[in-house]
Amino acid sequence: MSTATHDTTHGHADDVAHGHDDHAHAHKPYGMMRWLGSTNHKDIGTMYLWFSFTMFMVGGVMAMLIRAELFQPGLQILTPEKFNSMTTYHGLIMVFGAIMPAFVGFANWLIPMQIGAPDMAFPRMNNLSFWLLPPAAALLIAAQFVPGGGAGVGWTMYAPLTTQAGPAMDLTIFAVHILGMSSIMGSINIITTILNMRAPGMGLMKMPLFCWTWLITAYLLVASMPVLAGAVTMTLTDRHFGTSFFNAAGGGDPVLYQHIFWFFGHPEVYIIAIPAFGVISQVIPAFSRKPLFGYASMVYATASIAILSFLVWGHHMYTTGMPVETQLYFMYATTVIAVPTGVKVFNWVATMWKGSLSFETPMLFALGFLFLFSLGGFTGLHSGNVPVDVQLQDTYYVVAHFHYVMVAGALFSAFAGIYFWLPKWTGRMYNETLGKWHFWLSLIFFNVAFFVQHFLGLAGMPRRVPDYALQFAEFNAISSIGAFGFGLSQLLFLYVVVKCITSGEKALDKQWEGADSLEWTHLPSPPPYHSFVTPPVLK
């Protein structure tokens, strides 16, 4: 049931065990068209990862500007409008341009190999899904340079503030639409691939958990991205076409925007977190030399989290004035999500328990994830409690919470995955000492930057402000130093990756003793340009 789309008139099927890419496929593309016209899941995965890293740097520069302004009280380098624009685009670029494409890059590279398929179900649509991203990114960057500068509305783009914003808002809305289309098409591809193209013997409950997490995430994307598109389209028509969806004077309600946005927004954070969980579920068993504890309950827990994620959006809106019964419902529903999430954390620890552990860089990042994502989960528990949230909502406590789960959580998981799979993708090993340096520097500077922000929020510092009262000065200075250090440490990561690709030592086919998915057991490092053209035989 090979659905490979490469030209089969050469008469060579790619042999799983040999992997002679240029020999088996004489017309392997080269030059610019190899990338622009690629229908190869490996090349497309590579492009997603490089795009994501570029956006990480762009969003990172914005973060450095934000923390530079906040280093001391007073306004030094940014006007308040520019500051608001930086916070807005830092958020949009990191969420939609960096972290989401990174995990799509992993999906593209790994899903076909892990299920024994030759490529994704729709390779041409795969190409379009990627190539929509650079224009969308260009729009977000261009928005900084139109009259009025970038829209200073927050990544959440609440109405009716967005009605007042300048032309940058329209560019941003357009970019969000394009990003959504890319994600939806990618999700259709992933679902179809996983449901239809698994090799014989690869039952759903046998495939690597990473594939399960992407299957579930893809459904979340398909269900939630159109809702975001609706919200920003209504914003567009309120701005230009005389509608009043979010304007009380015309019969509408500003809070309606928040309901629609967060109905997308809460599943969105799980769209980011669940693939991260998937990567961790591959890395920890490999370095524990022990199977993942409770595979089935991990699947059920992930599916529960995904379903529950649609039922809790109101916890982002506790102070908008909803009736007390609604607040109570959202509080109870939100605390329920803690149960399957806890189960997952316990399962990862139980995987390590009585294993035979080693601590190469991927495992270090996975442990960092486990520790710090859980911390972020705890502050989520505080924020989910309505009376307590009255004090925490819209403060730096929330900023700390989501940076713990998204940076120390999702980003560290992405780092773990990159160090884990670089040997497979490139056939070369990264420098283990430098990798460890990257880990320790990132871990320490991340905590210096963000742990103190919990205290800032508790002490009363609101978020999205370019300046602050004097009692917040010390912790802001500490946070800024941590942020600068964290940013610089990522340059070390770039060096490690480039050095690996260009001159790393040759990697083994099964580089990691405890790794057991198909890409490690059945494919060489690097794998052939087309792998599993005939499906592997699985017991």
Footprint (CB under 8 A) of other proteins, residues 73-92: 73-76, 79-81, 84
Distance separating alpha carbons of residues 435 and 454, to the nearest angstrom:
29
| 493 near other proteins, rule: CB under 8 A | no
Determine whether 297 is an active site residue. Answer: no
Report the nearest approach of other proteins to the CB of residue 500 (Å): 24
**Of 39, 156, 162, 182, which is the active-site residue?**
182
Sequence-ordered list of residues with C-beta below 8 angstroms from that of 259, at least 6 positions apart, any chain: 313, 314, 317
Report the nearest approach of other proteins to the CB of residue 61 (Å): 21
Report the nearest approach of other proteins to the CB of residue 515 (Å): 14
**DSSP letters spanning 43-92:** HHHHHHHHHHHHHHHHHHHHHHHHHHHTTSSS--S--HHHHHHHHHHHHH
φ and ψ at residue 506, rounded to 5 degrees: -60, 135
Residues 86, 175, 191, 352: which binds other proteins (CB under 8 A)?
Answer: 352
| 294 near other proteins, rule: CB under 8 A | yes
Where in 252-291 is the site for other proteins (CB under 8 A)?
253-255, 288-291
| 353 near other proteins, rule: CB under 8 A | yes
Nearer to other proteins, 225 or 352 (CB): 352
**Of 5, 28, 81, 155, which is the active-site residue?**
155
| 346 near other proteins, rule: CB under 8 A | yes
Nearer to other proteins, 201 or 291 (CB): 291
| 312 near other proteins, rule: CB under 8 A | no
Distance separating alpha carbons of residues 204 and 115, to the nearest angstrom:
10
Determine whether 464 is an active site residue. Answer: no
Report the nearest approach of other proteins to the CB of residue 103 (Å): 24
| Residue 155, both tokens | 């990544």
Residues 29, 166, 230, 487: which binds other proteins (CB under 8 A)?
Answer: 166
Binding pattern to other proteins, positions 396-415, x when CB under 8 A? Answer: --------------------
Sequence-ordered list of residues with C-beta below 8 angstroms from that of 98, at least 6 positions apart, any chain: 52, 53, 55, 56, 59
First-to-last CA distance in the chain?
18
| 529 three-state secondary structure | coil
Nearer to other proteins, 238 or 268 (CB): 238
Distance separating alpha carbons of residues 386 and 381, to the nearest angstrom:
10
Report the nearest approach of other proteins to the CB of residue 38 (Å): 39
197-205, 208-216, 331-339, 499-507 -> range binding other proteins (CB under 8 A): 331-339
Sequence-ordered list of residues with C-beta below 8 angstroms from that of 501, at least 6 positions apart, any chain: 422, 426, 428
Where in 218-247 is the site for other proteins (CB under 8 A)?
239, 247
Where in 93-112 is the site for other proteins (CB under 8 A)?
none
Report the nearest approach of other proteins to the CB of residue 525 (Å): 22
Where in 414-473 is the site for other proteins (CB under 8 A)?
455, 458-460, 462-472
Integer angstrom CA distances of residue 212 from 106, 114, 411: 13, 11, 20
| Residue 308, both tokens | 């529950």
256 and 245 in contact (C-beta within 8 Å)?
yes
| 321 near other proteins, rule: CB under 8 A | yes
220 and 264 in contact (C-beta within 8 Å)?
no
Nearer to other proteins, 38 or 162 (CB): 162
Nearer to other proteins, 295 or 486 (CB): 295
The dihedral built from the CA positions of residue 450, 451, 457 and 459, taken in this order, carries a sign that is negative
Nearer to other proteins, 28 or 289 (CB): 289
| 495 near other proteins, rule: CB under 8 A | no
Nearer to other proteins, 128 or 465 (CB): 465
Residues 5, 28, 50, 148: which binds other proteins (CB under 8 A)?
Answer: 148
26-34, 292-300, 308-316, 523-531 -> range binding other proteins (CB under 8 A): 292-300
Nearer to other proteins, 136 or 343 (CB): 343
Determine whether 155 is an active site residue. Answer: yes
Distance separating alpha carbons of residues 436 and 60, to the nearest angstrom:
21
272 and 266 in contact (C-beta within 8 Å)?
no
Distance separating alpha carbons of residues 357 and 367, to the nearest angstrom:
11
Burial class (CB in 10 A: 0-12, 13-18, 19+), 325: exposed
Distance separating alpha carbons of residues 484 and 74, to the nearest angstrom:
19
Residues 327, 479, 490, 511: which binds other proteins (CB under 8 A)?
Answer: 327
**Of 259, 463, 464, 499, which is the active-site residue?**
463
| Residue 528, both tokens | 């052939």
Distance separating alpha carbons of residues 72 and 84, to the nearest angstrom:
17
| 186 near other proteins, rule: CB under 8 A | no
Determine whether 25 is an active site residue. Answer: no
**DSSP letters spanning 262-292:** HHHHHHHHHHHHHHHHHHHHHHHHHHHTSPP
Q: How many residues bind other proteins (CB under 8 A)?
A: 97
Determine whether 268 is an active site residue. Answer: yes
**Of 270, 295, 396, 520, which is the active-site residue?**
270
Residues 98, 107, 161, 286: which binds other proteins (CB under 8 A)?
Answer: 161
Residues 23, 28, 382, 499: which binds other proteins (CB under 8 A)?
Answer: 382
Determine whether 124 is an active site residue. Answer: no
86 and 166 in contact (C-beta within 8 Å)?
no
| Residue 406, both tokens | 């998204």
Determine whether 344 is an active site residue. Answer: yes
Catalytic residues: 90, 119, 155, 182-183, 266, 268, 270, 281, 315-316, 341, 344, 463
